[in-house]
Every structure is written in structure tokens, then in C-alpha cells.
A and B are shown apart, each in its own frame.
Chain A
Amino acid sequence: MLKRSVSQAGDDAWLVYEQIILAALDEGQIDLAKSVLFILDTRFKDSQRVKRLSGLVMEALGHTDEAQTLYTEMLEKDATNVLASKRLIALLKSQGQIPLAIRELVTYLDTHGNDFEAWLELSHLYLSQHLYPQAAFCLEEVILQQPANHYFHLHYAELQYTMGNLDVALKEYLRVVELSTDNVRGFYGVKLTADRLMTESKKGKSSGNKKDQQSNRMDNVPQQATLERLSELATERLVSVYNRASDTSKKTAEKWLKE
């Protein structure tokens, strides 16, 4: 059946073969993948695309050293080979060699700086190594390329909050709620950051302690009045959304919102 449908496909057959290999690998049918790979290898000698597929088969068989050698060779011949780069990075990542994976991904991004998904991947790799400022830089690149996507602003807001930059976090959370409707995470974020900024600036003012005032190093903190109105807005939107919630969550959320 396979042979019949493939001969009907004509030149598209080669694409189908490639997909069969990928599907077979996903399903663990490595022998099938190998036999189809042989067909492609016979037709397309010395093809980068076929080489990458054979690398995938090696990975599936657990021959990671062979695969790594293959990808490295491909990159030595052509440093801009996208297929080889991505496979090498994925391989290093699966082996837990995160610092090396980061190095390779940075090299890849030097040439392919408009691949925002790669920047996102790099951000996650940095995060796993607790390198927060580097992760933030990568997310900024993603946002530059995808400015209307609220998900990335949300990710960036949460990272900035984690880093203690509440003023930036608040700004980004506001962007999130601007770009999407009644975004619960967004409004929780607005309320959380606005409330904390209000508390911290009160602390800074009431203690005559210079150290406390200096520790409030954030540059773009809005005025108290603005913070209060933002907090109220977030509360109002959350209450409205929670009207649909189940009892326990609703009661608990409302208690939290009132504090």
C-alpha cells in the first residue's frame, strides 16, 4: 500500500518519505525509519537534509556521540546550516549539557537573529541556569519581534517581578491587560505589583533611614494615587471575572482581593 501511494505521488514522494521517517521515529519504529532512510540516501547522495535525518536515527538509537560528530561535521562544512545547528542544540539539551547548548544557540542566533522562537528557547535555557538578566534580554528580543503578543509580555512581566523589578513588572502587566481582555493572570499581576509598590514606597518615606530610601532604586514608579487606582481597577475586573467561579475559590479570592 505504501509503495502504491508513493508512486502516485511522483516527485512529492521524497517529501512523504521524509515525513515517514519522522513519524516512524516518533513511534519508535526505528527499522522502518532506517529502510526509508536508505531509499532517500540512495536518491540524494551527500544531501544535508538526508544527513540530518540519519543523525535523528542515530539519536533515536541512543548513539548520541555519533550523532554529535555528524552534526559538528555538517557545521564545519557550513556554519550556517540551520538543520544541523538545531539538532546539535537539541541533542546537547537532552543530555543535560545546558552550558554547551547555550553556547551553540548563541552562535546560531548570531546568524539567525530573527528567529524569535530561538530567542525564547535561549531564554528558557538561561532561566534553567538561574541567569535571570540574560533570560530577560532574550525575552526582550522576542518582544521586539512579536510586540502584539500578550503572552510574551506576560512572561517578561513575571520574570521582572521575580528579579525584583516591580516597576517594570507593573508596566508589562499593564501591557498584557491592554492587549487581551480580562486576562486573569494580568490583573493579578497588576494588583500584586501595584500593592507592593505602594507598601514599599510608604516604608521608604516613613522610615527616615537613608538606606531604606536608597533601596527603593526603581526609576519609574507611578504616583501613589495612580497605584491606588490601578489596584482598584484590577480588583474590580477580578471580582467581575470571579462571579463565574466555584464557591471556595471565589470566597478565597475575594478575601485576598479585599486585603
Chain B
Amino acid sequence: MTEYTISLQAYAKAVLHCAKYPWATVHGLFLAEKKDGKVRMVDAIPLAHNWTQLTPMFDVALQQAQVYAKTKGWSIGGYYVAYEDTETTQLSASGTLLARAVSAGSEGVVAFVIDAKKLGPGSAQPGLVPYLNVDSQWKEQSGAFSGAKSKGGAATFVLENNRVLASTLKLVAERADIGIHDFDEHLDDVTLDWLQNNALSERIRTA
């Protein structure tokens, strides 16, 4: 059974990506560090907020992200998506295809749908619904992050510590989302660092 830990960097960046484009579907990748059978999502790479169903730039970004991950001794551990329609937490047909594309290059990739309803100050849990690839089907791990074993007992999901949610809310309130740049933005201005978002990483570290 695999234990997945989500770091503040990964969670905050994914949420800030959503906060920057609240009217759109946004998606991105999680970078994973694997040690002793445990998987830690150490960072997030935001990809797009426009034409998210169209695949060419996704292919380019994924390939480049894989090159980058290798240089740090990491792998692509996850695909996250937040839908324009905030009511749904179901991984869509195109989301399934994209998650599968990510899986082609790495083992044990987890797909996460962001649950907008759990992003507010009242929520005690992260707004992430994980999907694991079981027998070529992406199965929702309901009840993940609740402390109990997820359905099927295939995996456990935890946040890095109990300050992740509060820190993330603080960053959103401070409009730190202005500092996140995804691959879409990079294509319009190549001087923007979409892979590391260094300045933002620093801000998150000190949040």
C-alpha cells in the first residue's frame, strides 16, 4: 500500500493556479520524490488555463517537464485539474486521456481533481480528489485525506503537516497567485519560469 504525501509547495501552487484563473479549467503536473516505497509530491508545475482539452502544447510541456524532473532526481507523480464547472469532481473523458499520457512516462501516477467546494476557509480537508489507475480505469479514492484508509485500501493520502491549509489560504488572500506562471503564459513570454516559479516557491517557503 502506497503512502502519498502532498507538500505545501505542491498544494499551494495548484490552488494558486486555480485562484489566478477562477473562471477557467486549469491543469498541471505534480513532481514526485520516491523513497522507501513512499511518494512525496514535492512541487507543482502549472500547465494551462486555456484550450485545456487540446493536446499539442500539453505534449510539449509534459516532455519538457519530464526532462526537468530527471535533472532533480524526481519524476512526474501526478496530474491535477480544476474544472470550470465547480460542481463536478469527476475526472472527465479528456482528463482521463491526459492522465494516461502522463502515466505513459512514469509509474504510479495519481490524477487529482480539485474540489472547489473544499478550498474555502471552513474546510478541514484539502480540496483534492485522487484517482488511481486500477486495471486501466481511473478509480476515485473517496475519503482520502480523512485519515481513514481509502476505499480499496490501495493508498493513503496525507498533507505534509497541519499548517498546509492555513498557509495556502493566507497566500490566496495575499493574492500570491499573481506570481504563478504556467506554460500557457510562458508561450506568450518565454522569460517566465513555468517549471520552477522560483520567486513564488520562496514566498511559499516563508509563508
Contacts and interface: CB of A to CB of B under 8 A. Distances in A.
B2 interface: no
A253 interface: yes
Given A130-B94, A242-B190, A158 B64 contact: no
B54 A245 contact: no
Interface in A186-216: 188-189, 192-193
Nearest to A130: B93
Interface string B181-207: 000001110111111100000000000
A161 B193 contact: no
Interface stretch (B12-20, B55-63, B114-122): B55-63
A248 B54 contact: no
Interface residues of A, number: 28
A162 B54 contact: yes
Given A256-B64, A256-B67, A192 B194 contact: no
Contacts of B93: 130
A130 B51 CA distance: 13
B31 to A, nearest CB: 13
Contacts of A246: 191-193
Given A162-B53, A252-B67, A188 B193 contact: no
B135 interface: no
Interface in A5-52: none
Contact of A159 (B54, B187, B191): B54
B63 A256 contact: yes
B138 interface: no
A103 to B, nearest CB: 20
Interface in B77-124: 85, 87, 93-94
Interface in B19-73: 51, 53-57, 59-60, 63-64, 67-68, 71
A185 B56 CA distance: 9
A249 B54 contact: no
A173 to B, nearest CB: 9
A245 B196 CA distance: 13
A184 B187 CA distance: 6
A184 B192 CA distance: 13
A185 B55 CA distance: 12
A86 to B, nearest CB: 19
29 contacts: A96-B85, A96-B87, A127-B53, A130-B94, A155-B51, A157-B56, A158-B54, A158-B56, A158-B57, A161-B56, A162-B53, A162-B55, A169-B56, A184-B190, A188-B57, A188-B60, A189-B57, A192-B56, A193-B56, A244-B190, A248-B195, A248-B196, A249-B190, A249-B194, A250-B190, A252-B68, A252-B71, A256-B63, A256-B67
